[in-house]
Amino acid sequence: MARKRDTAGMVVCSLFILLGGAALWDTTRMLDRDSYVYPRAVAVLMIVFCLMYIGRQLLLPPKELTESLEAQTAQRGGSTPRRVGLVVTLFACALAMPYVGFLIAGSAAFAVMLLIAMYDPWTRFRIVVYPLVSAALVLGFYFLFKSAFLVPLPTAPFL
């Protein structure tokens, strides 16, 4: 199957670039550094990644793919229950965060999303490595938001 340029993806990326520009413009009225650091960082990263995607689509020649993503999904069955499960998990995490804190809610959500999204069978390697990588990612994001972006994160009242 020949790969064509992702025109719809490029259009969506263009809309996200406009949204990122609007977010950057909106932060110019914020006086406190603590208020605008995180929104600006996210907006700049969103713009950069969208530009990279558009550039990749325009500069790289279309090439043959051995198996498309749609064919892989069709082989393994529908993924609508998984998508719904991921969204429900994210909402549950957001609702639980004020009560149990970022680390506990984030760790639980990451573990549940990992189980929901896992297509491949569990091996000894995955049983050991996936929880370690998950913990490292959640802790990494915690310290990134807390220290670099100076975002006040919810903590568990019982800790």
Task: Give Cα 71 to chain centroid, integer Å.
Answer: 24
pLDDT of residue 77: 58
pLDDT of residue 64: 43
Residue 70: pLDDT band with limits 50, 70, 90 = low
Q: Is the pLDDT of residue 153 over 50?
A: yes
* 149 conformational bin, left if phi > 0, alpha if psi -120 to 50, beta if neither: alpha
CA 32, CA 75: separation in Å to the nearest integer?
52
pLDDT of residue 129: 95
Q: Is the pLDDT of residue 66 over 80?
A: no
pLDDT of residue 3: 61
In SS3 terms, 29-67 reads as: HCCCHHHHHHHHHHHHHHHHHHHHHHHHHHHCCCCECCC
Q: Percentage of the chain with pLDDT > 90?
A: 53
Average pLDDT over residues 46-71: 76
Average pLDDT over residues 116-137: 92
In 25-58, which positions are buried (b, 16+ CB within 10 angstroms) versus exposed (e)?
eeeeeeeeeeebbebbeebeebbeebeebbeebe
- Tell if the pTM clears 0.85, that is, is over it: no
Q: Is the pLDDT of residue 9 over 80?
A: yes
Average pLDDT, the chain: 86
